Amino acid sequence: MSEHELPELPYDYDALEPHISEQVVRWHHDTHHQGYVDGLNGAEETLADNRESGDHSSTQSALRSVSHNGSGHYLHTLFWENMHPDGGGEPDGALADRIEEEFGSYDAWKAEFKEAAGWSAGGWALLVYDTVSKSLRNLAVQKHNDGALWSAHPIFAVDVWEHSYYHDYGPDRGDFVDNVFEVVNWDEVAENYDKVVSTYE
């Protein structure tokens, strides 16, 4: 089993300014995201040791740690990739058509997504592709995994934990979410959508 590593940012620390400050990106990526990577590696090491020794007294906590830290690591990776300094605007192509088909319009989807982002100060707003219903869904996920949907593949993620916005926006999480939309990398989101649809449809 290979050790998980913190992925490099696909842009400079200050590249998302003025929408997300260099300071927040540094804290968020180098400290918070690194913490989830370290937690996942530690939990997997504990499980490996327990399997070898046969002593499972710490297995339950390690399993919970894999779910929490693994989800945190994977969603943060998606979050960084979902943004770009030249992003913004609206999606086009097949993803735009699917959003209009299933939500009525881009604006209707965005309004629902922003409601998901307002649900919890310690969690995520996600646009996912549900492989069972073969449809797009918005999810409001508390922490990293409470409210997740089995079979759903996240294609767009916005971190709404306070560490992602409070330094820049204070308690105005809605303003932060609006600014994330100014740097959304719709090409990356569309690529995520195309990959999952090509597999399941």
Q: Which residues are annotated as a binding site?
A: 28, 76, 159, 163
Domain extent, residue 107, equals 93-200
On the question of pLDDT at 110 being above 70, the answer is yes
pLDDT-derived band at 122, boundaries 50, 70, 90: confident
Q: What is the CATH number of the domain that holds 30?
A: 1.10.287.990
Mark whether 182 and 121 lie in a shared domain: yes
- This prediction has a pTM of 0.95
Q: Are strands 135-142 and 152-159 parallel, antiparallel or unpaired?
A: unpaired
Mark whether 64 and 163 lie in a shared domain: no
If one counts the domains in the chain, the total is 2
pLDDT-derived band at 147, boundaries 50, 70, 90: confident
Mark whether 115 and 75 lie in a shared domain: no
Tokens 């927040």 identify what position? 24
Mark whether 127 and 194 lie in a shared domain: yes
Residue 1 lies in a domain: no
Residue 145 lies in a domain: yes
pLDDT score of 113: 98
Mark whether 99 and 157 lie in a shared domain: yes
SS3 labels along the chain: CCCCCCCCCCCCCCCCCCCCCHHHHHHHHHHHHHHHHHHHHHHHHHHHHHHHHCCCCCHHHHHHHHHHHHHHHHHHHHHHHCECCCCCCCCCHHHHHHHHHHHCCHHHHHHHHHHHHCCCCCEEEEEEEECCCCEEEEEEEECCCECCCCCEEEEEEEECCHHHCHHHHCCCHHHHHHHHCCCECHHHHHHHHHHHHHHHC
Residue 106 lies in a domain: yes
Mark whether 126 and 192 lie in a shared domain: yes
pLDDT score of 1: 62
On the question of pLDDT at 2 being above 80, the answer is no
CA angle 188, 123, 190 (to 5 degrees): 15
Q: Which residues are annotated as a binding site for Mn(2+)?
A: 28, 76, 159, 163
Q: What is the mean pLDDT of residues 154-183?
A: 96
Mark whether 98 and 193 lie in a shared domain: yes
Domain final residue pick, 56, 81, 106:
81
pLDDT score of 133: 96
Angle between helices 186-200 and 93-103 (to 10 degrees): 80
pLDDT score of 75: 97
Do 153 and 132 form a contact (C-beta atoms < 8 A)?
no
Average confidence score pLDDT of the chain? 96
Residues in the chain: 201
Mark whether 43 and 111 lie in a shared domain: no
pLDDT score of 48: 97
**Residues 15-45: tens digit of each pLDDT:** 999 999 999 999 999 999 999 999 999 999 9
Q: What is the CATH number of the domain that holds 133?
A: 3.55.40.20
**Residues 69-100: tens digit of each pLDDT:** 999 999 999 999 999 999 999 999 999 999 99
Q: What is the mean pLDDT of residues 3-7?
A: 97
- The span from the CA of 110 to the CA of 152, in Å, is 19
